[in-house]
Structure 1
Amino acid sequence: MCLVFVCDEEETVKGSQFVEGACPYCGGRVVATDVEKQWRFCFLPFFFKNKQRLTCAVCSRRLTRVK
């Protein structure tokens, strides 16, 4: 008997918009992208997480928020 566990991770982009600020590396515009991450175990979804990612529109680097 062989048990096989299938785990999968899927990310979908919900939307994106330009935000205030400039990239510290190249000075380009900053884009905020809303992403929903869904983890599946044996094709059944068991975890959802919504995140907002910041990237530069010119150099495509991932940025972090400074509080």
Structure 2
Amino acid sequence: MVFFCFLVDQRRKVKRSKPVAGSCSRCGGGASVADMMTQTRFCCVPFYWKSWKAIMCTFCGAMLKSYR
């Protein structure tokens, strides 16, 4: 019996962002609204991607809230 193992990974990329009023609850840094893109790859070939918005901390990079 032979099993094949393939590499599947997922990357998140910030396409653009703009600052908003408020601060991070974790570190106290500023917040920004970011247009995000999630890309799922199978053996280095992207086969699924999704765009969505998130509120992120500009200092620590924590995702405070996401809008899918």
Q: Structure 2-normalised TM-score?
A: 0.62
Secondary structure at 1:3 match in 2:
coil
Contact kept? 2:17, 2:34, Cα under 8 Å: yes
Structure 1, unmatched stretches of 5+, are: none
Q: Deviations over 1:9-55 (max 9, x none)?
A: 11221111013x324845x6431111111001122211111121103
Task: Say how many residue pairs are matched.
Answer: 63
Specify the alignment match of 1:2 in structure 2.
3
- Structure 1 or 2, whichever has the larger Rg, is 1
Specify the alignment match of 2:22 in structure 1.
22
Identity of aligned residues (%): 29
C-alpha distance in 2 between matches for 1:24 and 1:13:
18
Root mean square deviation of aligned Cα: 2.6
Specify the alignment match of 1:63 in structure 2.
64
Q: Structure 1-normalised TM-score?
A: 0.63
